Amino acid sequence: MKIDVHNHFYPSKFLKELEEKGGSAGVSVEKDEWGRRIIVQRGNRVVTLTPPMNDIAKRLEDMDRAGFDVQILTLSVPSVDIFPVDVGETLARVVNDEIAEIITKHPNHFMGFSTLPFLDPKRTVGELERCIDNLGFKGACIGSNINGLPLDHELLYPFYERMSAYDLPIHIHPRAPADEVTYKDYRLGPMIGFEMDLCVAVVRLIMGVVMERFPKLKFIVSHLGGAIPYLAERIENCYEAYPECQVNLSRPAMAYLKDFYYDTVSFFEPALMCAYSFAGSGHLILGSDYPHVIGDIDEAISSIEGLKIPEAEKELIYCGNILRLIHDNP
């Protein structure tokens, strides 16, 4: 079985709201030089809109061709927190309800991770409970920042506490970096900015005491963790060198880094093998980033098939690890 933990679905109602009201939150739907519809946030291109983003028939066709059995559906950037809290809550329900309808119609092919209105802790927990308890979702998706708020902000503590009790995974997906100037030219936001923001998110979860305070949390970090496997030793060296990096931790930074799970949305063999060497096959989870134009539903599988690792370890990446995290059986 092959399960895609990193792909994206955009309900039509959400896109309509984005077009009509996104301007008030610094988001616009425009066209690029090739005539493609794109979402721009704070001047940075963050999404190219493609037909399969809300075409389930096309999605099923592509899954069958590529060899994916199941996708865990999530919304992507910019999510709902760019809007006022009450609008964000309404849109989160719209997204989650439409995903739930798809799961009901195609239970053998889709699961869901919840979209949540993170700017209000009470609404966050309420919608999470509705998604898990009533809709049967298997986890939650969170951005690498919440409208500029870091993931170690105490506003998110009630969410972390509830997720610890559910013992279900949290998928960290990139958001537009708060630094809009550095990444504005040459589409540096999705090219590099997303990856840097993932690195910042992971380190803040460690140094900012979240992993220490909520040891049962299970995070899946997008894009092989940004550059985390490559930078792991440097992070550990800084932990050893700087007292402020140790003040909140009972273990070395490296130990926490190895607690994270990393999805395989980087189809470059040396990068995959770096992550494999660092995290091990037991902490890698299959992803495609479909249907983004810089994702690849076909290479997501072929890149793992081509790795020179035991077949049993590939099976962990394909489905074993995520099934364990969501408490399901193959």
246 vs 38 pLDDT, higher one: 246
Q: Indicate the DSSP class of residue 146.
A: B
Write the pLDDT tens digit of every residue in 266-318: 999 999 999 999 999 999 999 999 999 889 999 999 999 999 999 999 999 99
DSSP H helices in 146-248: 157-166, 188, 194-207, 210-213, 228-241
The helix or strand, by DSSP H or E, that contains position 110, with its residue range, turns out to be strand 110-114
Write the pLDDT tens digit of every residue in 50-66: 888 889 999 999 999 99
The answer to whether 117 touches 146, Cβ cutoff 8 Å, is no
Distance of alpha carbon 267 from its chain centroid, rounded? 17
Domain 3-9+54-325 matching CATH 3.40.50.620: the answer reads no
Hey, CA dihedral for 31, 37, 41, 46, is it positive or negative? negative
Predicted structure pTM score: 0.94
Q: What pLDDT shows up at residue 271?
A: 97
Distance CA 152, CA 249 (A): 14
The answer to whether 232 touches 257, Cβ cutoff 8 Å, is yes
The residues, ordered by sequence, that sit 6+ positions from 19 with a Cβ below 8 Å of its Cβ are 29
The answer to whether 66 touches 298, Cβ cutoff 8 Å, is yes
Name the percent of the chain lying above pLDDT 70.
99
The answer to whether 96 touches 114, Cβ cutoff 8 Å, is yes
> Residue 329 — pLDDT band, cuts 50, 70, 90?
low
Domain ranges of the chain: 3-9+54-325
Distance CA 189, CA 300 (A): 22
Distance in angstroms between the alpha carbons of the first and the last residue of the chain? 8
Q: Looking at residues 247-265, what average pLDDT do you find?
A: 96
Q: Looking at residues 93-119, what average pLDDT do you find?
A: 97
> Residue 322 — pLDDT band, cuts 50, 70, 90?
very high
Q: Looking at residues 11-21, what average pLDDT do you find?
A: 83
Q: Looking at residues 35-45, what average pLDDT do you find?
A: 80
100 vs 182 pLDDT, higher one: 100
For 66, 78, 176, 190, 265, the CA distances from 296, given in Å and listed in that order, are 10, 20, 21, 15, 9
The residues, ordered by sequence, that sit 6+ positions from 237 with a Cβ below 8 Å of its Cβ are none
The answer to whether 265 touches 6, Cβ cutoff 8 Å, is yes
Write the pLDDT tens digit of every residue in 120-173: 999 999 999 999 999 999 999 999 999 899 999 999 999 999 999 999 999 999
Q: Looking at residues 12-34, what average pLDDT do you find?
A: 82
Q: What pLDDT shows up at residue 330?
A: 52
